[in-house]
Chain A
C-alpha cells in the first residue's frame, strides 16, 4: 500500500517546512520552489499507481498524438494523459465511458499545480466491461440494418483478383497466399494495414474503402472479392475489428467481403457486416477461390460425358435403325403369303380341271348310255315327216305366188296396150294449150306496145311545150356570147363583143354596138316566120324503126 507511505512523505515534507522556521520566522519559499517540492513529493509518493476508473471526456488523441482525458468514479475525478509513444502501444482503443484499469504515475505541472496521472499502460476493466460495450454497439449497428441478411451478396465463383486487407508480414498473409496458390493461383493484391492497436480500425476501414475506390480497368486491378484477415488474439487484440468505422466500411463495400478475424470462436463486429465470415484466414482463402484442379477435372469429366453421350446417342440410333431394318420383312417374306395362295390356286387349277373333266366324263357317260340307235331312228322319221310337211307347204306357197304374179303381169300388159292412145290425147291437149298461150302472148305484147306509144306521145308533147324554142316561136331571140353561153343581162355585154342571136328559125352573128337603147337605124333583119322545123317531123319515122 502506497497511501500510508505517501502520507508519511507529505508529513515529513511539512515537518521540514515548519522546522526550518518558527511560525514567526517561517522560511519563505518561492512558488516555484513550493511547486517543485510538491512535484517531487507527489512523484516520489505516486511513482507507480494502479487506478480503476471510467474514461471521461475522451476525445481521441490530440493532433500532437497525446491523449488527454480524465478518469472518474462516482465521487472523484483525476486528469489523465497518455503520451503519444504509449498510446500507439495500447492494445485497445480507449473510449468514452469505458471502465479501465490504468497503470502510471501521478505528476503535477509546476506551471499550474494541477496533478494528473500519466498512464503507461491501460486495459479494459475486465472482459465483462468490453463485452458489454461490444453488445451495445452491435445492437446499435444491427438496428441500422448493417447486419441484415438481405445486404449479403454472393461471392464470385471464380474471382480474377483478390484483395487482402491484413498485415503484410506474418503467418496470416502467408497462410492465405499458400492456400490460394494451392487451390487456384490468381492475382492477389495485399493492402497492408496494422491489425492491432489504436488506429488499426481506421486503417482497415480505409483499406476496404480504398479497394472499393479502385476503378475497374484502371492501372491497379480492382479485386472481385476482399478478404479482411487477422490471426487469433485476445479480445483486446481484435478490438480494432469491432471499430464502428470498420463495420460501416465492410457493410458499404461494393466488393463482396470475407472476414477472417481471429479464431473460429472469436466473433468481431466485422464478421456480422461481412458477406461471408470465415473461421480462419485459410478458410477465407478456400471460400474465395475454387479448387482449380477440381474444376479442370469437372470440365474434363463433363467433356468425356459429352463425347460419350453423343456417341451413345449415335449408337442408339444406329441400333434402332438396325433393328428396324431387321424388323422390315424381306421381299421373299413379303411375297410368301401371296405366293402360297397362288401356288395353292395353281395346284387347285390342275386338280379342278381333272375333277371337272371327270365330272363331265361321268355326265357324258350317263348321257351316252341313254343314246341308242332306235331313239335316233324315231327322231329321224319324225324330222323327215316334218320336212315333208314343210316341203308341201312351201310348194303351195310358191304356187300361190306364181298365180299372183301372172295376174299382175296380165294386168300390166293390158295397161300397156292402152298406153299409146293415152299418150296421143295428152299430146293434143298440150298442143292446144301452147297455141292458146301463143295467141294470148301476142295480144298482150301488142297491147303493151300501144300503151307505151301513147305514153311516149304524151311525154313528147309535154317536152315540146316546155322547150325554149316555143318561146322563140313567139318571136323572142336567145343571145349567146362567143363561147355559146347565154347572155342574160345587158351589163354582161360590152361594146364590140361578138354575140350570136338565136331565133326560132336559125342563128345570126352580131357585134354589140356603143351605148344602149335603140339600135342604130339600120334596116332590121326581117323576122322570118319560122316554119315548123323539119326535125321533129323526121322523128316519128325514126322512132318507128324501134319496133
Chain B
C-alpha cells in the first residue's frame, strides 16, 4: 500500500529502499506505532524488501571490452576473456 506522501517504492535506489526498510523495522521494533499505521508500514516494508531483492537479482553478470578503432575511438564492445 503506497500512501500518497511517500514515493513509489519502485523509484527508490537500493540504498534508499534499504534505509527506509531499516527505519520501518526499527519503528516497529520500538513498538511506538499505532496499530493501523503499523499494518500500513509493514506492507510498505514488504514492498521495499521485494524491491531490494529485485534490484539485487537484476544485476547483470557480463564482462565486455571496448573495441577501439585505429584512432582510439570506441567502436563497440566485445566479450573479454581475461583468463
Contacts and interface: CB of A to CB of B under 8 A. Distances in A.
Interface in A291-322: 292, 295-296, 298-299, 302-303, 305-306, 309-310, 312-313, 316-317
Nearest to B81: A168
A192 B78 CA distance: 12
B45 to A, nearest CB: 5
A261 B47 CA distance: 42
A544 B68 CA distance: 164
B55 A188 contact: no
Contacts of A220: 66, 74, 76-77
A191 interface: yes
Nearest to B38: A313
A231 B72 CA distance: 23
Nearest to A202: B72
B7 interface: no
A189 interface: yes
A188 B52 contact: no
B28 A299 contact: no
Sorting the interface of chain A by its residue count into under 10, 10 to 19, 20 to 34 or 35 or more gives 35 or more
B61 A158 contact: no
Contact of B18 (A185, A221, A302): A302
A158 B29 contact: no
A6 interface: no
Interface SS of chain A: helix, strand, loop or mixed? helix
A298 B18 contact: yes
Interface stretch (A137-145, A173-181, A263-271): A173-181
A160 interface: yes
A306 B25 contact: yes
Contact of A177 (B21, B33, B82): B82
Contact of B38 (A169, A190, A192, A310): A310
A241 interface: no
A210 B75 CA distance: 11
Contacts of B53: 296, 299
20 contacts: A157-B15, A160-B59, A185-B60, A187-B60, A188-B64, A189-B65, A190-B80, A191-B74, A203-B72, A210-B66, A221-B64, A298-B18, A305-B29, A306-B25, A306-B42, A306-B49, A310-B28, A310-B38, A313-B28, A313-B31
Given A158-B59, A305-B25, A313-B28, 9 more contacts: A174-B82, A177-B63, A186-B59, A187-B59, A188-B62, A189-B65, A210-B74, A295-B14, A303-B46
